[in-house]
């Protein structure tokens, strides 16, 4: 006994030690696992404002010398400058003879022709798809209607099966009720005509007759007593006694008739009760029969309606037909849109060419209008005259410079290619920020916006750049501020990742476990709405008190467990 108790205590102690070791190993494994988890830094997703800046980069070029040209043929009267001479803005460089207005008139006529051509192209083709979209919507509704009709047919067929089963059950019940009613009618007929009142009347009549006979028998008994007391002859007494015996026989016979009549009354009463019960049951079953016959008529009428609908195969064929018609309209619509898109691009190119030609001619007309009566040519920029290409008496040509002035202001040129949409967000004369220049005196100003000859969909921002440490060939990035807007979700740009499926952020989500809170890096797809140098406004699937990962000790995959940096 003692040995068994010692063995049980030893097993119990061993089990306690085992559980303690497992508990320690569990906590140790959790600690060890945390040692190898990626350590991440996070920041909250917040609302705020972002200035939607236009960013780009280009290569620094030397500031081009300014070529002095005239748009029309003019005769140089006097040259007032020399090579190497420093000039200021507005200084008179050349004096001219009076110009020929015939060239201006020709330029105006050409401008009117270009304007008519541009207006014709501006009208263009009306790419309207209302008719096609209405047809597609109508086909979609027809398809939905066919689907509803198919569902109705399926529902009707199912209901018809249920109604058929119910009708069969009702028919069986009607047959059973009709059989029971027929049986009760047979039972009533078997009982025949039961006249309970006639039997009772007959019994009462026989009872009255019996009473009369009994009274007569009593009178005879009294006569016999009187005769005996009066000393009548034996013959008279004997005659009375014979009369008594005959009357007693009548009484007995009548008593038997009364008994038979009484039994007849009892039998008639029992028969009447049976007929009453049979009629009651027959009436009950007849009423129930009427109810089931009404159900039968209602079910039969409903089945006629259900069975009159089209078959499931016919309804399915109509669905397929309507779906094909709908899809064909969508396909034709997409083909037409694709063809129209190509034609529209061609029209846009032709329209742009016509517009550029018109603007160029307008510029020529304006220049000719401005210079035809102009007798002096002045400097448009300060600098040094590096070249003079004419003498007094020479005729100018539109493509030949009269002189060249080289800038001497430490400025450089920078050309940045941007989209049309970006170009409309900035204006000539707007200041820009050099984002990769670390000097203290760097500056940039947008001087002009020109078409991109290599890509008609883009525009070239021409900036004038200054800076002590800037040299020709440097790659400079600039940022030109756009409109500042309020956004619901703003994060650091280094929290945004991109793969083949698009841009995304990793949001920290919590998962409670028996060993504590686990932190999971969860992917959320995002769209970039606006951005500056360090932040971006995003649209995300859901918003809340979200924290995104901005940095980690090693690469983190979506769904991976991480630990937060202390």
Structural domain ending residue among the three candidates 449, 480, 511: 480
Residue 123 pLDDT greater than 70, yes or no: yes
279 within some domain: yes
Residue 4 confidence class, pLDDT cut points 50, 70, 90: low
**What pLDDT is attached to residue 65?**
65
130 within some domain: no
335 within some domain: no
341 within some domain: no
Average pLDDT over residues 392-415: 77
Question: How many domains does the chain divide into?
Answer: 4
> Is the domain of 147 the same as that of 6?
no
Average pLDDT over residues 64-82: 78
118 within some domain: no
Tell me the pLDDT tens digit for each residue of 480-498: 876 677 888 888 888 899 8
Query: Which CATH number belongs to the domain containing residue 513 in this structure?
Result: 2.40.420.20
> Is the domain of 444 the same as that of 382?
yes
Residue 118 pLDDT greater than 80, yes or no: no
Say if residues 465 and 443 touch (Cβ distance below 8 Å).
Answer: yes
* DSSP code per residue over 181-244: HHHHHHHHHHH----HHHHHHHHHHHHHHHHHHHHHHHHHHHHHHHHHHHT--HHHHHHHHHHH
**Of the given ranges (4-18, 118-132, 448-462), which has the lowest mean pLDDT?**
4-18
The 8-class DSSP code of residue 454 comes to S
Residue 327 confidence class, pLDDT cut points 50, 70, 90: very high
> Is the domain of 61 the same as that of 8?
no
Average pLDDT over residues 280-309: 85
Residue 46: which residues within 8 A CB-CB, separation 6 or more? 489, 490
Q: Name the nearest CA neighbour of 143 among 6, 291, 324.
A: 324
Tell me the pLDDT tens digit for each residue of 250-275: 889 888 888 887 887 777 777 777 77
- HEC string of 310-352 equals CCHHHHHHHHHHHHHHHHHHHHHHHHHHHHHHHHHHHHHHHHH
Residue 75: which residues within 8 A CB-CB, separation 6 or more? 96, 97, 393, 394, 395, 396
Residue 344: which residues within 8 A CB-CB, separation 6 or more? 125, 127
Q: Quickly tell me which residue has 């035809």 as its tokens.
A: 372
% of residues, the chain, pLDDT over 70: 88
% of residues, the chain, pLDDT over 90: 4
Residue 68: which residues within 8 A CB-CB, separation 6 or more? 93, 377, 379, 380, 401, 402, 403, 404, 405
Residue 447 pLDDT greater than 90, yes or no: no
Please name the helix (run of DSSP H) or strand (run of DSSP E) that holds residue 155, with its range, or none: helix 130-191
175 within some domain: yes
Give the up-direction half-sphere exposure of residue 384: CA atoms within 13 A in the CB hemisphere: 5
Largest CA distance in the chain: 211
As a whole number of angstroms, the distance between CA 251 and CA 247 comes to 6
As a whole number of angstroms, the distance between CA 475 and CA 440 comes to 18
Q: Hey, what are 303's tokens?
A: 């089945």
Average pLDDT over residues 156-169: 87
> Is the domain of 295 the same as that of 200?
yes
Tell me the pLDDT tens digit for each residue of 514-565: 666 788 888 989 988 887 768 888 888 766 678 889 888 888 888 888 888 7
Residue 361 pLDDT greater than 80, yes or no: no
Average pLDDT over residues 113-129: 76
Query: Helix 312-371 crosses helix 130-191 at what angle (to 10 degrees)?
Result: 160
**What pLDDT is attached to residue 299?**
84
Q: Name the nearest CA neighbour of 434 among 55, 51, 49.
A: 55
CA distances from 509 to 8, 523, 547, 563, 564 (A): 48, 10, 8, 11, 12
* DSSP code per residue over 73-130: --BEEEE---TT-EE-TT-EEEEEPPPPHHHHHHHHHHHHHHHHHHHHHHH------H
CA distances from 58 to 50, 293, 410, 460, 461 (A): 24, 95, 18, 10, 10
- The whole-angstrom distance between residue 563's C-alpha and the CA centroid of its chain comes to 37
Tell me the pLDDT tens digit for each residue of 340-359: 777 777 777 777 887 888 78
**What pLDDT is attached to residue 410?**
63
Q: Quickly tell me which residue has 């990962």 as its tokens.
A: 549
Average pLDDT over residues 499-505: 89
**What pLDDT is attached to residue 77?**
83
Query: Which CATH number belongs to the domain containing residue 400 in this structure?
Result: 2.40.50.100
Residue 138 confidence class, pLDDT cut points 50, 70, 90: very high
Residue 512 confidence class, pLDDT cut points 50, 70, 90: confident
As a whole number of angstroms, the distance between CA 490 and CA 539 comes to 9
> Is the domain of 72 the same as that of 45?
no
> Is the domain of 252 the same as that of 191?
yes
Q: Hey, what are 378's tokens?
A: 């002045």
> Is the domain of 296 the same as that of 429?
no
318 within some domain: no
As a whole number of angstroms, the distance between CA 79 and CA 92 comes to 9
Residue 452: which residues within 8 A CB-CB, separation 6 or more? 417, 458, 459, 460
> Is the domain of 166 the same as that of 295?
yes
> Is the domain of 146 the same as that of 165?
yes
> Is the domain of 193 the same as that of 307?
yes
236 within some domain: yes
**What pLDDT is attached to residue 504?**
92
Q: Look up the domain containing 548 and give its range.
A: 37-51+484-564
Torsions phi, psi for 166 (to 5 deg): -65, -40
Residue 324 pLDDT greater than 90, yes or no: yes
Average pLDDT over residues 62-77: 74
Residue 109 pLDDT greater than 70, yes or no: yes
Residue 412 pLDDT greater than 80, yes or no: no
Residue 39: which residues within 8 A CB-CB, separation 6 or more? 552, 553, 562, 563, 564, 565
> Is the domain of 168 the same as that of 185?
yes
N residues, the chain: 566
> Is the domain of 216 the same as that of 237?
yes
Residue 53 confidence class, pLDDT cut points 50, 70, 90: confident
Structural domain ending residue among the three candidates 446, 461, 480: 480
Q: Name the nearest CA neighbour of 409 among 466, 460, 337.
A: 466
Average pLDDT over residues 61-71: 71
The 8-class DSSP code of residue 482 comes to -
**What pLDDT is attached to residue 103?**
66
Average pLDDT over residues 54-65: 76
């Amino acid at each position: 006994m003692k040995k068994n108790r010692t063995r049980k205590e030893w097993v119990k102690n061993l089990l306690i030690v085992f559980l303690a070791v497992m508990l320690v190993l569990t906590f140790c494994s959790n600690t060890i696992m945390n040692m190898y988890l990626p350590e991440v830094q996070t920041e909250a997703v917040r609302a705020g404002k972002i200035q939607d800046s236009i960013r780009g980069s280009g290569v620094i070029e030397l500031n081009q010398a300014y070529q002095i040209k005239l748009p029309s043929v003019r005769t140089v009267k006097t040259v007032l400058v020399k090579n190497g001479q420093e000039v200021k803005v507005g200084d008179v460089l050349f004096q001219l003879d009076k110009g020929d207005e015939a060239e201006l008139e020709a330029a105006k006529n050409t401008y009117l022709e270009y304007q008519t051509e541009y207006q014709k192209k501006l009208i263009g083709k009306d790419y309207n798809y209302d008719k096609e979209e209405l047809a597609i919507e109508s086909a979609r509704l027809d398809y939905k209607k066919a689907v509803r009709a198919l569902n109705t047919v399926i529902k009707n067929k199912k209901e018809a099966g249920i109604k058929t089963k119910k009708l069969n059950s009702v028919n069986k019940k009607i047959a059973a009720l009709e059989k029971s009613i027929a049986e009760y009618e047979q039972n009533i007929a078997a009982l025949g005509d039961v006249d309970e009142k006639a039997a009772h009347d007959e019994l009462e009549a026989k009872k009255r007759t019996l009473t009369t006979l009994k009274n007569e028998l009593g009178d005879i008994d009294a006569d016999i007593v009187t005769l005996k007391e009066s000393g009548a002859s034996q013959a008279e007494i004997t005659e009375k006694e014979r009369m008594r015996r005959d009357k007693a026989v009548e009484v007995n016979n009548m008593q038997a008739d009364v008994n038979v009549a009484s039994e007849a009354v009892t039998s008639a009463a029992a028969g009447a009760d049976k007929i009453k019960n049979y009629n009651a049951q027959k009436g009950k079953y007849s009423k129930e029969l009427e109810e089931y016959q009404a159900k039968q008529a209602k079910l039969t009428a409903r089945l006629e309606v259900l069975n009159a609908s089209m078959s499931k195969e016919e309804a399915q064929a109509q669905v397929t037909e309507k779906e094909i018609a709908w899809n064909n309209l969508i396909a034709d619509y997409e083909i037409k849109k694709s063809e129209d898109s190509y034609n529209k691009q061609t029209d846009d190119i032709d329209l742009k060419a016509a517009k550029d030609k018109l603007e160029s001619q307008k510029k020529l007309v304006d220049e000719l209008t401005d210079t035809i009566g102009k007798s002096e040519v002045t400097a448009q920029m300060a600098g040094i005259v590096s070249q003079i290409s004419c003498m007094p008496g020479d005729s100018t040509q539109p493509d030949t410079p009269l002189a060249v002035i080289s800038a001497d202001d430490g400025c450089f040129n920078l050309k940045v290619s941007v989209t049309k949409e970006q170009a409309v967000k900035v204006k000539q004369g707007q200041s820009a920020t050099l984002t990769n220049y670390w000097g203290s005196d760097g500056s940039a100003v947008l001087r002009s916006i020109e078409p991109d000859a290599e890509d008609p969909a883009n525009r070239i921002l021409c900036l004038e750049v200054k800076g002590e440490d800037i040299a020709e060939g440097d790659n400079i990035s600039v940022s030109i501020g756009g409109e500042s807007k309020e956004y619901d979700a703003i994060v650091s740009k280094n929290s945004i990742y991109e793969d083949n499926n698009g841009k995304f952020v990793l949001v920290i989500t919590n998962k409670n476990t028996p060993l504590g809170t686990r932190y999971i890096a969860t992917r959320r797809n995002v769209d970039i709405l606006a951005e500056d140098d360090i932040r971006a406004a995003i649209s995300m699937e859901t918003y809340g008190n979200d924290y995104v990962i901005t940095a980690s000790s090693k690469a983190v995959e979506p769904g991976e467990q991480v630990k937060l940096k202390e």
